[in-house]
Structures are given as structure tokens and as C-alpha cells.
Structure 1
């Protein structure tokens, strides 16, 4: 090998080594990884809801004598909806003839990924009601049917399409009768893949009711209220803030058991001691829901 060729190879090797060393001293173009971005927090929000329905069906029993209802409410949500307080109202047609049903409620909704909990207290208030007394002086209802429930709910969502849930509600003075009431149910909802916003859902529940209190009912002796099973199934479609729902409701209550739970005035006036408020029913509902944050108020920070 000639001296000239050997010198050329040595020169190239030295230049490559120097270039590599200089390159290692240059700052990286990528730089340090970006700092994680903290999730935005909505400290306060208000959710508004308005509904119109062909019948106000509550756990299988019509609250409007199978006639239409208009409902509305507002809910204050705190710290990304972890804590909440709300009020809700509806027209009703019940044995004690209240001017409306007004509900007050509050609780906490912890969430861990796809697992959600809800614990709270719900107060049912019936302003302007009057005790139902027939011409013979028989008391058919308490003077005051307001009552309070405590509840716990849990649900889990699978792949953003299927949600399964379980709920328990307890009242120590159901409808002012002195009887306890425990309602437990399982729920399921599936978002259909072929049309966004379309879902099917259902609920299967059971109501355990206790014995009425003689001191409250006055002329009526203590009565064991009938337990019953309730279920519903239906489909709903949501477009933006509007949801349309068609649902089937039914119970295991007979018409005489339904009368015992509702004191349906028709069963008194006709002398049948029966009521159709608890039978099978198809209910259509149209609702509109919106939040203040969606309008730019209480935006996340």
C-alpha cells in the first residue's frame, strides 16, 4: 500500500471521528418530553332538562292517571359533576290531589374510568294535597304523602357501547304510610353500532314494601303492603340535545293490589276497590337537555 493511500485512509478516519464527536456535543433537536397537561376542571355547571310524556310512569305506577305530563328541572354540578344538587317538578293526578310533585335531591358521583357510582338523598314533596276521606268517614290516604329516599347506584361501561348497572333505594316512611320501602333494580343499555345516538335499554326491579302505621292511618288498621316486580324495555334516539324514547312498562300487581297502593279515587267511587294505574303501558317521551357550560358559561379551566 502506498504512503499516499495510507495517509488518505488515516485522514478520512480522523475526520469521521472528529465529526462524530462534534455531533455528540450538539443539543438534541427533540428536546425534553412535554410536561403532562392537567385535565380541565369544570368547577361549576348547571344542567337543565325539560320533558313531555304521554304518561308519568314511576316504577310501574302511573302518577297522572295515565294522562300526559310535563316535567322540568335544574341541577347544580360541582367539580366535574362529582357533587350535585337538584330540583325537579312534574304535574301529577294522585289520590290526595296535590298541585304538583316537586323533588329535591343531592349527592355525589365518584367515577373511576368506566366504573361510576352515585350516592344521594331524594325528597318527594307534594304541595297542596288533601287527605282522601270518603262519605262514610273512611280515611284512604295519609294527610301528608311526602317522603324521603336514600339511594346508591353503580354502573360499568364496556367499550363505550354496553352499560350495566345496579340500583338500591330505601324509604323509611313510604308515601307517609309508615311502611318502609326498598326498591332494587338491574339496568342495561346498549348503543347500537349502525346508527349513532340510537340505543336500547331496560330495567328489572323489585319493590319490597312494609306494614302501614296505625297511628298515621287512623281508621285503617295496619296493613301489609304488597311487594311487586317491575320492568321496562324500550329504545331511544338522541340528536344533539333532544332525545325521543318509546318504552313499555309493566308490573306483577293485580288491580286490587294496585288500588291498595294508590287509593285510586275511581276504585272508591265505583265501589270496585280496583285500579288500572299499575298495568301494562307504552310511554313515549320527548326530552331536551342542555348545560350552562355548553353555552360557554362555567367553561372548563
Structure 2
């Protein structure tokens, strides 16, 4: 009996130890998830063969470089706040040093719809006023400042010293699936390029992203995208007036479009694109004050000089960019 009792006691102790060990294993929990960090920063740079903005070159069809820095705050997975600063090299008739962009807004997401609403400021420091030609007043009789009187472009086009302006904008992107997405854009400025004329730009963008298997396991991605947009304008102030319209000219509205193909690899993107507009060379000269414009055959009601500009014509653009975020690329 004693042997049986000792055996029972031993079995009980072994069973109890096994249960305790099992409980200890079950008590071990998975490590807690990493705390949510709402802050992120996006930044990048690019070099392009031509800086085209809504179908119009900003760099006289010459190469341009750009860079941006954009801090972001993710309120949650469906709402992001952001501010940013960017810069591009340009070639304007007023010899502005560069384009400096300051912007900010919100990006809410609702299912397949991603919105982007904000304000964008375009700053052009270092410009010089060009009017000259012996004029002391514009065609409306408004006096010109001494610096405007002193400086004359070779082709007698005119441009203000400061052409900085801002736009409010709204965008919405509908992602159909992993391959297709469509975006609607709307931009409005009460004083486009500080001309005194309001400006409104609307466009639609379609983008097809190829399946990741197209290039096997190389990591190279590919997309095709295109945009069609229309730019509307109001009437400028008297600085840009002409004899028939001394109080200012109604800039010509125009359509613009582009189509291209892009290749991505890690943080790099190579984009090859064709861009064009339906603006005439004469109306393009009146809008841009192109310092390279020439000829006399491109007369329009707002361009009595007949100068013609190719700044709004067909262009091919090759752009190599690198884009990173602190959360994804610097961990």
C-alpha cells in the first residue's frame, strides 16, 4: 500500500509539474505592436530635359533641376496633413532666379477615393522689370516705375519684376484596382502670374500600372499615363495692355495634353513624355512674354507685334527623379 501511495504521489507531482509548464508556455504573449508614429517626411529631386508646366515651358526648352521636402502628419490611416517646399530652375523673361514653391493641405481617403485639398504658392525671387522702349507710362496712361523704364527686352516684350502668385486646388483619385487609377484636378488663382488675370485649370489624368510580373523578379515597374487639361484666363491689368486694349488683354484660353511611359526601380523613376497645346504662337507670346520670340507674322488681337513663341508648342520631356520617405526608406 505504501508503494502504491508513493507511486500515486509521484504521478500527481509529475502531472502537476507538466500542467504548470504548459500554463507557463501559454502565459507567454506576443510582443506588443510597435507604437504608431504619425510623422513622416517625403523628399526627392529630379533632373529633366525641359520643365513643362501645363503645356508651357518654364525653362526655355532647356534642362531643369528640381527638389522638394515635405513633412507629413498622419492623423490616422485615412487622413494626412502636409506642408512642403520645392524649387525648380527656370528661364523667365524677367530673369527671376528660380521658382520656389511653398504649399500645404490635407489628404483624406474614403475607400477607393483619395482627395488632396490645399494651397500652393509660386514664388519667383530676383526678377527685373522689363518695359523700356522709352515709355514712361503704359497704354492706359499709368506711370511706370523707373526700373521698368530703364530695362528693355530685345524684342520689346514686357514683364513685371515679381510674377509670384498662389492657387487653391483640389484633386481626387479613384483607384479602380491595382492597375488602373483616374484623377480629376482643379486649380484656381485670383491673380495668375501676378498679371491681374484670374486663372482656372481643370484636367483629368488616367494611369495604367503594369503588373509587377512584367519584368520578372528584376524589381522594375512600368506605367503609362496621360492628361488632358484646359486653362482659362481672365483679363490682365494695364501693364500688359496693348493699343487696342489699353486696360489689359484677355489671355487666350487653351487646351493642353500629355502622354508618356515611366519605369520605376526602387526609389528611382524615369518618365518619358510628349506634351503639347493648341495655343497659337502669337497668343503664346502675349501670355509668356517670351524673350526669344521673333517674327512679325503671328498677329492676333492681343499680340499686335506679330512676334511668335514656341514656348507653348510640342515638346518631349525625359525626367529622372528619386523619391523617398523617412518611414519607408530610412529605417
Contact 1:42–1:78 (8 Å) recurs in 2: no
Q: Distance in 2 between the 1:230 and 1:40 partners?
A: 46
User: In structure 1, what is the Cα distance between the partners aligned to 2:269 and 2:34?
Assistant: 29
Provide Cα deviations, 1:269-293, integer angstroms capped at 9, x if missing partner: 9875111111000100000011111
Offset, 1:209:
0.5
In the TM superposition, 1:127-276 aligns within 5 A as 127-137=125-135, 140-193=158-211, 194-195=214-215, 197-214=221-238, 216-217=239-240, 221-267=247-293, 272-276=306-310
210 and 244 in structure 1: CA distance in 2 versus 1, 3 angstrom threshold: same
**3-state SS, counterpart of residue 292 of structure 2:** helix
Tell me the distance in 2 between the aligned counterparts of 1:180 and 1:77.
Answer: 30
- Alignment of 1:288 onto 2:322: yes
Q: CA deviation at 1:159?
A: 1.6
Q: Does 2:73 align with 1:78?
A: yes
CA distance in 1, matches of 2:129, 2:317: 29
Structure 2 counterpart of 1:50: 45
Structure 2: unaligned runs, 5 residues or longer:
1-25, 139-147, 149-157, 297-304
TM-score by length of 1: 0.81
The alignment partner of 1:197 has SS state of: strand
The structural deviation recorded for 1:114 is 1.9
RMSD: 2.4
Q: What is the alpha-carbon distance in structure 2 between the residues aligned to residue 43 and residue 278 of structure 1?
A: 42
**1:123 equivalenced with 2:121 (yes/no):** yes
SS at structure 2 position matched to 1:273: coil
Shift of residue 256 of structure 1? 0.5
